[in-house]
Amino acid sequence: MDHLGELAKVVFHDSAIAKGAATEDRIVAAELILKDINPITEAYLKFMQYVLGFFNKLNAMFQSKDSLIAVIQEESQRLLRCLCQNFLKPSSIKDPAKLNPLDPRSLLALEELYVGAGCQGILDKITMEGGSSEVRDFKLRCISFYQTAVLEVQKRLPISGPFFHEVRLLQPSTALSYEARKRLPSLSVLQDRYRHLLPSVGDVE
């Protein structure tokens, strides 16, 4: 009962079924829905629950009304590092601009691949029951997922480039730090350097 209820909460997050699965009179509905879920499928659900957590902060940031220009590159790099540390060697993720998730020399060994504690616990049970080949296939798919996620982050977010690095000066914590300001151009220099990106007087009402 407890196992099915917990799994229902993972699959049907915040839905009526998930809430009802915690009570005795609704657990039958959860059993009917979850009866065909095998351990590998449950492992996939736990893996996705773990991975999607990395995107939550960035997603919440994009939904806010605050200006992102001063922090978007830093947060994009943070997301990239969080993903990469699960399947790439530490030496290969030192420079986000040169990172290649498809380089086989950069991959961790399968036994070192991290898929989240909940997922790994399920995989350990499957291995103990003689499903080592299933676990191997599962982890190879997880690597493919990580690689695709990293490539999409690299394509869609400002991981590198001088503009988003230099405009960190607009971030209050940077602007108020003398040491941080010394490493970045002054506001007047930025204004001259990126004048072509600024609206003309006629564009501003």
- Per-10-residue mean pLDDT of the chain, 205 residues long, equals 48 49 56 69 92 83 66 82 95 87 96 96 93 93 94 83 53 51 49 51 45
Q: What is the pLDDT of residue 176?
A: 47
Q: What SS3 state is found at 88? A: strand
Q: What SS3 state is found at 205? A: coil
The rounded distance, in Å, linking the Cα atoms of 138 and 131 is 11
Instruction: Give the list of residues 6+ apart from residue 135 with CB closer than 8 angstroms, or none.
Output: 123, 126, 127
Q: What is the pLDDT of residue 192?
A: 54
C-alpha dist (Å) from residue 30 to 22, 42, 44, 119, 190: 10, 14, 18, 21, 58
In the chain, what is the straight-line distance between the N-terminal and C-terminal CA atoms, in Å? 63
Task: Encode burial over 162-181: b for 16+ CB neighbours within 10 A, e otherwise.
Answer: eebebbbbebeebeeeeeee
Q: What is the pLDDT of residue 76?
A: 84
DSSP state for residue 107 in the 8-state scheme: B
pTM greater than 0.75:
no
Instruction: Give the list of residues 6+ apart from residue 97 with CB closer than 8 angstroms, or none.
Output: 159, 160
CA atoms within 13 A on the CB side of 61: 16
Residue type present at position 161: G
| Region of residue 99 (left: phi > 0; alpha: psi -120 to 50; beta: else) | beta
Burial class (CB in 10 A: 0-12, 13-18, 19+), 37: middle
Which single residue is written with the structure tokens 């893996």?
Answer: 47
Alpha helices in 39-157 (DSSP H): 39-63, 72-84, 117-128, 132-156
Q: What SS3 state is found at 24? A: coil
Question: Is-contact 127 111, C-beta < 8 A?
Answer: no
